[in-house]
Amino acid sequence: MKFLKTLTYSWLDSLKTFLPENLKTNLLLTLNAIKDIIKHVSYRLIIPPICLIILVYFRNNYFSTASLIISAILLADILIYARPSIDFKNSSYYLKTHYKTFPFVLTTSLIYLLSSKFWDNSIFKIINSFNKNVLLINNLFVNSYFNPAIYMISPLLVFFVLFLMDSKKELKSYFSSVYRAFKMFIYNYPFCFIAYNIFKVTNIAIEKTLYYLLPQTAASLIFYLILFLITIPFYLIFMTNFYVNQIHTKFNIYYTE
């Protein structure tokens, strides 16, 4: 009964994020974070999305594997610079944080890639359906046969990486971060569902509009530029701000074992 009461309160509270005043504040925080990142961060953040765009544009036999690895780098890159920290965010901070989180993100990516090889199996079809409809891990693109952002935009994975960055560098941190990310995902499911689908529908609308107005090659290239350089970073920073707010206001929920 206590769990249901807490869950109901948390669900209703998460929806308050979309109230006009709260949404305005969150969007301004996101835009300010983007401005600070552009101002203080070097070319490092540009390299992964450019590599992804090249991979998407010139697909080959190694496209799926390479795009997953680069997507993991891009995901970690953005979250490293988006999350608040008392440390100065220089090259040392970047490498230290990346060193702690990237192996785990890469492992998760490769597990996802390997499991996709068996999706024709009936059991994996059920798992894939669960991923799409419940865990919000879905295909974003309309015309692409593979989506390197397929897991990057999942709120569950975003929360996992953020919890991992805030934990000690040890094996058990991986499992505790998964547990805490799942709790944050469940306790804020309405928010996650709405934010995820707004992002998804927005990008589908952009893609369809570009394909309607421009030749296919130009539309594809421009869409990927918008996706990896604008909409995905904006979405990830918005989710990071939500995560930070949750940690400050509901710390006991997520750090109660």
pLDDT along the chain (257 residues), means of 10: 81 89 88 77 67 65 61 77 71 68 65 59 62 62 47 81 81 84 92 90 89 86 82 89 91 80
For residue 137, which of 103, 109, 107, 174 has the smallest C-alpha distance? 109
d(CA 28, CA 216): 34
- pLDDT for res 190: 92
Give 150's DSSP letter: T
Confidence (pLDDT) at 151:
56
pLDDT reported for residue 146: 45
Q: Residue 112 has which token pair?
A: 């996802």
> What is the per-residue pLDDT for 195?
92
What pLDDT shows up at residue 64? 58
Residues 6 or more apart from 52 whose CB is under 8 A from it?
A: 67, 70, 71, 74, 148, 224, 228
Q: Give me the pLDDT at residue 106, please.
A: 66
List the helix and strand counts (H, then E) for the chain: 12, 0
**pLDDT number for residue 142:** 38
Query: Residue 38 has what pLDDT?
Result: 73
CA distances 194 to 127, 156, 237, Å, are 22, 14, 16
Alpha helix stretches (DSSP H) within 83-154: 91-116, 122-133
Choose among 167, 145, 189: nearest CA to 56: 145
**Whole-angstrom distance, CA of residue 124 vs CA of residue 111:** 13
Cα angle vertex 97, ends 137, 41, to 5°?
A: 90
Which residue from 133, 147, 72, 143 is spatially nearest to 106, judged by alpha carbons?
Answer: 72
Contact between 129 and 214 under an 8 Å Cβ cutoff? The reply is no
